[in-house]
Structure 1
Amino acid sequence: MVLVEKLKFLGQGTQKLVYEHPDDPQKVIKIMKPENATIDGGRANQHHLRSHRSQGIYRHFRRELLQYLQLCKNNYKDNNFTFPIETVHGFIATNKGLGLVTEKITSPNGNSLTLEHLLINGDFSTKQKEALNTFFNECCRYHVVFGEVNIGGIMYTEHRQGRPEFVLVDGIGEKLIIPFRSMSKRINTHNVRKVEKKIKSLIDF
């Protein structure tokens, strides 16, 4: 079992804490924030029936895993395992609950760099603009389903596939009870373009 206290802390979102993998610096371990879980693995601050449905606190992991598996299935004939979302490598036991192991997305200098950081630092150039256009186009083409996507969950890299690239690391997968976006590529594309328009409104496009 991995002791979270011995891991290098990399960052956090609203639901997850992110640490560097102890045996592979090219991977990260994500754990759900313990304060957001009930004693029996439900989601805190929700009605009992709702908090325990769909794997409770691990619902986010389930969405991401199912999305990644669906993308691999859809691209089976091409033997493709790399998409505009982070690659899922599996699970690992920690003293703070189950951890999701995924690839580590890093900037050219080796640090974690989100679209939000690029905008705050004024480092969003033509190169990043073209990469962001490609990101949304690929999400539509691959049928990547968004949950709740924002500029803090989209990371920038240049060495993942040898080109400037944005990769989604948070807000991945279907969250609707009736999975309209997963069932219909047309409906999903409409949603992706809506998110794209909202995000680009924050940028001088």
Structure 2
Amino acid sequence: MKAAVLQFPGSNCDRDMAVALRTSGVDVTMVWHKETALPDGIDVVGVPGGFSYGDYLRCGAIAATSPISGALKAHVARGGYAFGICNGFQVLTESHILPGALLRNAGLKYICRTTPLAVETTDSPYTRGYSQGQHIAIPIAHHDGNYTADVDTLDRLEGEGLVAFRYLDNPNGSARNIAGILSENRRVLGMMPHPERAFEAAHGNEDGRHFFSGLVDALVSA
């Protein structure tokens, strides 16, 4: 199984994501933002957290127009798998790969702590390693994590089972406590919490490990 992890100026979770994938048995290629194509044979693309382009304009907005984001959009349009974490989620919404937007936290403060989540569905490669309704603890670290969308979009996400994770203690004001969502074909996920930061015992919590092991199992058996 092969993955590409995108790197933008200001990315700071790209290596964390790569380590989690490699430890899970994935062959990872780091792909710089100026590249215009993904490597051949890529199964999944990871869009990491950080502060792409310094979060100027809007978080993820400049990254969404970078050369490699064009290749990401083409990959997704072909039915490819992709996931974005934190700033990566912002890039996916700014690219219109996923609906909605991430706004400034309701309290107008940067938040960095472990937060409890509920797994809302196991019907995706990213959540199949968990049990439906399972409570997990995953770190967050963001200033603009307040997920919002119009009522029709929120109702559709709920009705089609496309809410992947939900906050149990909403830290940022996200609509309907949404922490992560899926695309209509369930092959793209965006979430604000960082499973790669809860991957091994040294992190004090391994709840994020099942995110990556479930993804690998799903793609190997696809």
TM (norm. structure 2) is: 0.29
Q: Point out the structure with max Rg over C-alpha.
A: 1
Structure having the higher strand fraction is 2
TM (norm. structure 1) is: 0.31
Structure having the higher helix fraction is 1
